[in-house]
Structure 1
């Protein structure tokens, strides 16, 4: 055995200390797709009444971190429906009323929307960029860092 400490593989000496990527992600509760569909109906009801902040809070509340891709896409559709309905002059006021947790979830959905064909269709790209700009103006760069560091995806 070499005495040069730089060449000693510590993980080989104590295999119990190895952390797998699955252990880094917190356990996620399962998500019922019907719950997301019901949430979409509630969001549409609130939008029809003009309760934009309530609709956005419902859309951002309890994101389906543990759901399958179809469920996550359905919730993304719900969030995008709210974001595209709200006038750009009201964005700052609405983002300011959100809790810091909801603001972080909003940043996640903005990134996901900008990266998906669903978010780029029908001129939604410009709307998402406007939301992103005004959200970062309020939250600062911390929301972007939290998005990058969080392993849970929406």
Structure 2
């Protein structure tokens, strides 16, 4: 009889309650929309711009959040992110609370709030990773700058490019109003959701 080395057996495969045997596809809802292409996202951007010009910021924000490409390609997601940020920047600060209340009220309001929070965080991440309005390909490499006190400063400077600080300010204002209306639950749901925008 051959000796069996029990340390080499993967017991997680044998245990039906193990997380290794958990079907990961059950974490995603079965009602995901069809994958969106960048052409579809561009048509949504046109519709949203028309709504903004027509004086319907609440409808524009609702439409852009309802058509989020959760299963789209990367190019479609970038185009849609730019559209969402354009809508958020197009709404005056005095109207933010009223527009948010209208978008969140009713059926699907929680999903819209969560989707908006995802876009706010994604916009902040893009802002901080690209150092403002620069594209990632045009970003220069940074080198530490001595301060004379033994510390170094490594950061990008946004001279003359404009818009980067303003966009971050708009995103932070929307974040504040959204948390004020929905509470901290939307932050937790966004951080734990596997669907990305």
Note whether the superposition's TM-score is higher than 0.5.
yes
**Post-superposition shift, 1:34?**
2.0
CA contact (8 A) 2:35 2:73 kept: no
In structure 1, C-alpha distance between the alignment counterparts of 2:101 and 2:83, rounded to whole Å: 20
In structure 2, C-alpha distance between the alignment counterparts of 1:97 and 1:26, rounded to whole Å: 26
**Post-superposition shift, 1:12?**
3.2
Q: Show structure 1 runs of 5+ residues with no match.
A: 1-7
How has the CA–CA distance of structure 1 residues 60 and 119 changed in structure 2, closer, same or farther, with 3 Å as cutoff?
farther
RMSD: 2.4
In structure 2, C-alpha distance between the alignment counterparts of 1:36 and 1:45, rounded to whole Å: 14
Instruction: Verify: 1:144 aligned to 2:187, yes or no.
Output: yes
**Residue matched to 1:90:** 95
Q: Answer with 1 or 2: which has the greater Rg.
A: 2
Choose the corresponding residue for 1:131, options 168, 171, 174: 174
**Post-superposition shift, 1:69?**
1.0
Query: Which has a greater percent of helix?
Result: 1
How has the CA–CA distance of structure 1 residues 89 and 115 changed in structure 2, closer, same or farther, with 3 Å as cutoff?
same
**Post-superposition shift, 1:81?**
0.5
Q: Show structure 2 runs of 5+ residues with no match.
A: 1-8, 104-108, 134-162
**Displacement over 2 Å in runs of 4+:** 14-17, 19-29, 117-121
What TM-score do the two structures reach when normalised by structure 2?
0.67
